[in-house]
A and B are shown apart, each in its own frame.
Chain A
Amino acid sequence: MSDEGELDLRSLNDEELTQQVHDDLYDGLKEEVEEAVHILLERGWTPYKVLTEALVEGMRIVGIDFRDGILFVPEVLLAANSMKAGMAILRPLLAETGAPRLGKMVIGTVKGDIHDIGKNLVAMMMEGAGFEVINIGINNPVEKYLDAIAEHQPDILGMSALLTTTMPYMKVVIDTLKEKGMRDDYIVLVGGAPLNEEFAKAVGADAYCRDAAVAVETAKDFMKRKHNLLAASA
């Protein structure tokens, strides 16, 4: 049997294997990513370490090249699929081993819009970073957001829109939160390709996030501030 071009992942040391996961994620090679996750776990890596150093870091690199126009939507989707497969292996283990929990997020695409690739990617990267994520899907009217908030009591509300015609709906949701006196109970993050910082400010969101990596960093930042505030007022 010739296995030319086929790499025996087990022959790699930890560092090489991590690098290989990054490459395989980049190339959207789902089976290879799954196998590498299993091998790293066998070698005694904690699920959390596999998640952050192999998967999340790999996906971060994909995100950078997407932003810079080197990768396009199909490649990002394939990479996301591979990461999802890796996370499916890790998720039950993470629950058992008690990985850090940074906070909770409800995320959904706004009413009138059924684009969800970017929103799902953000949900996955947030989960990878240690947030509990409740993904309420697409075409969400304000009632759906309110129901999810009431049920899950998140720290963060995330809204996504890809259409110029649907992005103004974010203001409807935020204004409703204001009317109900709930706006300041939540960190509101917004995103989607046609948005920008100015828009986020105009609708009264806390921040606009250009991509999933920025979303993770921004969410972490706000959580830190929230904890500091709580500590100061305690």
Chain B
Amino acid sequence: MTFVNVKPSEEFEFLNGQGHVLLIACGALAREIVDLIETNRWTAFDVACLPAKWHNTPQFIVPAIRDKIREAKGKYKSIFVLYGDCGTGGLLDKLLEEEGVERIPGPHCYAFFSGNDAFKRREDEDMTSFFLTDYLARHFDKLIWAGMGLDRHPELLPMYFGNYRKIVYIAQTRDEELAKRAMAAARRLGLDYEYRFVGYGELADEMKSRA
């Protein structure tokens, strides 16, 4: 019987600046992307992330991606964008078509983590669900609670979440600490809580096909 001895020296550490495929990604996906690269020992990629906080102001996303693409062209064999439409109303796709660059399919990360088709099938049932990913569970306080001004003005809560019934934590990793956070977030918003493990979903498939 042989043992596979994975010593720290044999662990694969992602280093930017060595790949020939540039991934331009939302900062909210950075940890997941790096985890996928390291687990699969992919050497093809470099990663350029844009601020995750633009989630709330999608008008900043398209111009920034345009700049990144123009900067990277010629330096990479190919470029791939890891962003949903993210509320750009088709403007991201229009830009990518002009630039001849592809992106991961889907309207937002909740859909491609869940699987775009699976997400669509549950749309009616999830009408009044608010989704948390690992990223949002981790940064709920900053991005949602403070980002929506609820730290300063808790009285706004019904105006934001009055129409919602439950928090659905669509987990990328099995992490009890994060699940606790997601549960606490639901309590704070006064919503029910549901846990669904979805993993990396189509993010993994799309990256694999370009690795």
Interface set of A (CB-CB < 8 Å, partner B): 28, 69, 72-75, 77-78, 81, 112, 114, 116-117, 138-139, 162-165, 167, 193-196, 199
B156 touches A78 (CB 8 A): yes
Contacts of A117 in B (CB 8 A): 159-160
Contacts of A69 in B (CB 8 A): 57
A77 touches B159 (CB 8 A): yes
One of B127, B149, B164 near A112 (C-beta < 8 A): B127
Q: 27 interchain pairs (CB within 8 A)?
A: A28-B153, A69-B57, A72-B57, A73-B56, A73-B148, A74-B153, A75-B149, A77-B149, A77-B153, A78-B149, A78-B153, A78-B156, A81-B156, A114-B163, A117-B159, A117-B160, A139-B127, A163-B87, A164-B88, A164-B107, A165-B123, A193-B58, A193-B87, A194-B89, A196-B89, A196-B91, A199-B89
Which residues of chain B (150-205) have a CB below 8 Å from chain A? 150, 152-153, 156, 159-160, 163-164
Interface size class of chain B, counting residues whose CB lies under 8 Å from the partner chain: 20 to 34
One of A77, A114, A163, A167 near B156 (C-beta < 8 A): A77
Which residues of chain B (112-165) have a CB below 8 Å from chain A? 123, 127-128, 148-150, 152-153, 156, 159-160, 163-164
Interface residue SS majority, chain A: loop
**Distance in Å from the Cβ of A164 to the closest Cβ of chain B?**
5
Count, A-B residue pairs, CB within 8 A:
63
Asked whether A194 and B88 contact (CB < 8 A) given A112-B123, A164-B107, the answer is yes
Given A74-B153, A199-B90, 19 extra CB contacts under 8 A = A69-B57, A73-B56, A74-B149, A74-B150, A77-B160, A78-B153, A81-B159, A112-B123, A112-B127, A114-B163, A114-B164, A138-B163, A163-B107, A164-B87, A164-B88, A164-B90, A194-B58, A194-B85, A196-B89
Contacts of B88 in A (CB 8 A): 164, 194
Q: Which 5 A-B pairs have the closest CB atoms?
A: A74-B149, A194-B89, A164-B85, A114-B163, A164-B107
Q: In the complex, what distance in Å separates the CA atom of A74 from the CA atom of B160?
A: 10
B128 touches A195 (CB 8 A): no
Contacts of B159 in A (CB 8 A): 77, 81, 117
Q: In the complex, what distance in Å separates the CA atom of A114 from the CA atom of B166?
A: 13
Asked whether A72 and B56 contact (CB < 8 A) given A77-B159, A163-B107, the answer is yes
B149 touches A164 (CB 8 A): no
Residue of B nearest to A192 (CB): B89
**Distance in Å from the Cβ of B26 to the closest Cβ of chain A?**
15
Q: In the complex, what distance in Å separates the CA atom of A163 from the CA atom of B126?
A: 14
B149 touches A193 (CB 8 A): no
Residue of B nearest to A137 (CB): B163
A193 touches B89 (CB 8 A): yes
Contacts of A78 in B (CB 8 A): 149, 153, 156
Contacts of A28 in B (CB 8 A): 153
Contacts of B57 in A (CB 8 A): 69, 72
Q: In the complex, what distance in Å separates the CA atom of A167 from the CA atom of B90?
A: 11
A114 touches B128 (CB 8 A): yes
